[in-house]
Structure 1
Amino acid sequence: MQRVTVTLDDDLMAELDRLIDVRGYQNRSEAIRDLARAGLQQAAEETGSEQHCVGVLSYVYDHEARDLARRLTTVFHSHHDLTISSLHVHLDHDNCLEVGILKGPMKELQHFADHVIAERSVRHGRLQLLPTTTIAPDASGSPKDHGH
């Protein structure tokens, strides 16, 4: 671990201390590490990074919309390599919530999510990305991923 000295103006330090109190951080270092990770993740998302990550794609759609369920199913089947799991919830007579757990390169997950969210009659959608470490290959060159 590296030790870094940073100079902050009084107003910024006061904001940081308020954040520490609200979120319950044990110390300033933990808060600054989390903020640095969030900033690096945002930069990676903005630049279309190839960084490996998991994602949670959630969206609400009109289940009565013509061919929408079929189109969404086709999109997910076309990207089966990115999809780990999905959950379908009936919210009311007209609306369903889908939550998909995804895994793969950040750029590919963002492209996939953009395609799903852009479908006509998908009312709300959001992708939450969480960076992970890339799985190292074993001696045969295959990833040491157990598939779960």
Structure 2
Amino acid sequence: MERFTISLSDELATEFDLWIQARGYSNRSEAVRDLLRKEIETKRLVHDQAIYSVATISYVYNHHERNLAERLANLQHEAHDLVVTATHVHLDHDDCLETLFLKGLTQQIRRFTDMLSAETGVRHSVVNLVPVKLASVQHSHHSHAHSHFHPHS
């Protein structure tokens, strides 16, 4: 582990300590590490350097919209290699909230979430991408090799 020192004005240090406390961090080091990770991962995503990601997309839609539920299900079936699972919640008599959990190539996830969000009747879609590394592994308790998605350190 590498250590370094930073200097902050008294005002910035106070604001940072309030920010840390509000989020439940136990120390400044963990907060700084998380801020750095977030900034680095954001850069990877912005500059298309994240090859693999895990992601969620949450969206609201009216289930009475003509054939919309069927169109959304078809999109999910077409992307069965990306879609890990789906959660469906009834908000009221008309509206539903779905959250899909995805993993795979970042560009494929982006294309899929763009298509899904563009469906007529889909509202309030939000995508959360988390860049990961892909590692092929073989465990002693498995007879086949498989892949793990690991977060970047």
TM range (shorter): 0.7 to 0.9
- Post-superposition shift, 1:110? 2.3
1:62 offset after TM fit, Å?
A: 1.1
Q: Please, what TM-score do these two structures have when normalized by structure 1? A: 0.83
Q: Which runs of 5+ in 2 are unaligned?
A: 139-143, 149-153
| 1:81-132 deviation digits (Å, cap 9, x = unpaired) | 1011111222112111111111112332222212211211111111122333
Q: Measured at CA, do residues 10 and 111 of structure 1 come closer, stay the same or move farther in structure 2, by a change above 3 Å? A: farther
Change (3 A) 1:132 1:67: same
For 2:38 and 2:50, how far apart are their aligned partners in 1? 17
Higher strand share: 2
Give 1:30's aligned residue: 30
In structure 1, what is the Cα distance between the partners aligned to 2:58 and 2:92?
16
Rounded Cα–Cα distance in structure 2 between residues aligned with 1:45 and 1:12: 28
Superposed CA deviations along residues 3-58 of structure 1, whole A, max 9, x for unmatched, are 12333344432321111111121111100001111111222222233332221211
* Structure 1 residue 143: Cα displacement: 4.9
> What is the number of equivalent residue pairs in this alignment?
143
Judge conservation of contact 1:45–1:107 (CA < 8 Å) in 2. Answer: no
CA distance in 1, matches of 2:47, 2:77: 27
Contact 2:45 2:131 in 1 (8 A): no
Helix, strand or coil at the partner of 1:134: strand
Equivalent pairs: percent with the same residue? 41
Q: Which residue is 1:83 aligned to?
A: 83
Give the structure 2 partner of residue 121 of structure 1.
Answer: 121
Distance 2:92 2:112 in 1: 26
Cα RMSD, aligned residues only: 2.1
Counterpart amino acid of 1:50? Answer: A
Answer yes or no: is the 8 Å Cα contact 2:20–2:27 preserved in 1. Answer: yes
Structure 1: runs of 5+ lacking an equivalent:
none
Equivalent runs, 1:27-106 vs 2, <5 Å: 27-106=27-106
Measured in 2, the distance between the counterparts of 1:69 and 1:143 equals: 36
| Counterpart position of 1:145 | 147
Contact 1:49–1:105 (CA under 8 A) maintained in structure 2 = no
